[in-house]
Amino acid sequence: MRSRRWWQLWLVVPALLAVGTPVQAHLMNTGFGPFYDGLTHPFVTPEDLLPVVAVTLLAGLRGAQCGRWVLFVLPWAWLSGMMVGLVIIPPGSASWLTCGLTIALGALVAADQKLPLPMVVGLAMVLGLAHGWMNSAGLAQAQSGALSMVGIISALFGIVALLAGPVVALHAAWARVVVRVAGSWITAIGLLMLGWTVRAANG
């Protein structure tokens, strides 16, 4: 009996998936919503995502207390940066800062540097303030407000929680090596970003 039900599921699920639904291209104009715009922003903006991942891995490697601090400090600092940006408009792109933070944070993860808690929290704060401030320029252009900000910091909270937690729980030496390898890759990407930035600046 149960077997028949699974067979039915086997046939019905693809049929349901194949049913055509109206395609909503250009969702920005059709009500996808500023909250969801904000929620998806870090995932479609690698220059924001990479340093966030790096500082999260760094916090996770340093332990649960560090992870908890970064979990709250990073979104708070990001929000503060965005609010500052509403008053003091950021001067265009600050790719140099993004590259520098990405390279430095990735290298700290790769080296498994045993930084004290205040320093890791300080780095998270600097990252949040700087990138939040830069994000505010995009928010002003898109004319999206508080809901976008809430979406962005919700996404950041989720990223830190979902990534730092498992890293804190890693005890096997090889698993920590995997995290360090990820840090080295982030640094490598940051170096190439720097090259691209200089190339773009030189025309």
Site residues, another protein (CB under 8 A): 2-3, 6-7, 9-10, 13-14, 17-18, 25, 46-47, 50, 110, 177, 180-181, 184-185, 187-189, 191-196, 198-200, 202
CB 157 within 8 A of CB 68: no
Best CA proximity match to 134, nearest among 41, 54, 32: 41
In the complex with another protein, which residue's Cβ is closer, 99 or 124?
99
Query: Least separation, in Å, of the C-beta of 18 and another protein?
Result: 8
Query: Least separation, in Å, of the C-beta of 181 and another protein?
Result: 6
Query: Least separation, in Å, of the C-beta of 191 and another protein?
Result: 4
DSSP one-letter string for 46-61: HHHHHHHHHHHHHHHH
C-alpha to C-alpha distance for 63 and 69, rounded to whole angstroms: 10
Query: Least separation, in Å, of the C-beta of 42 and another protein?
Result: 14
In the complex with another protein, which residue's Cβ is closer, 14 or 91?
14
Written in H, E and C, the secondary structure of 122-165 is HHHHHHHHHHHHHHHHHHHHHCCCHHHHHHHHHHHHHHHHHHHH
Query: Least separation, in Å, of the C-beta of 99 and another protein?
Result: 10
C-alpha to C-alpha distance for 174 and 121, rounded to whole angstroms: 26
In the complex with another protein, which residue's Cβ is closer, 64 or 200?
200
C-alpha to C-alpha distance for 152 and 137, rounded to whole angstroms: 14
In the complex with another protein, which residue's Cβ is closer, 28 or 169?
28
In the complex with another protein, which residue's Cβ is closer, 14 or 88?
14
In the complex with another protein, which residue's Cβ is closer, 17 or 87?
17
How wide is the angle at C-alpha 156 spanned by C-alphas 155 and 159, nearest 5°? 85
Query: Least separation, in Å, of the C-beta of 180 and another protein?
Result: 7
In three-state secondary structure terms, 172 is coil
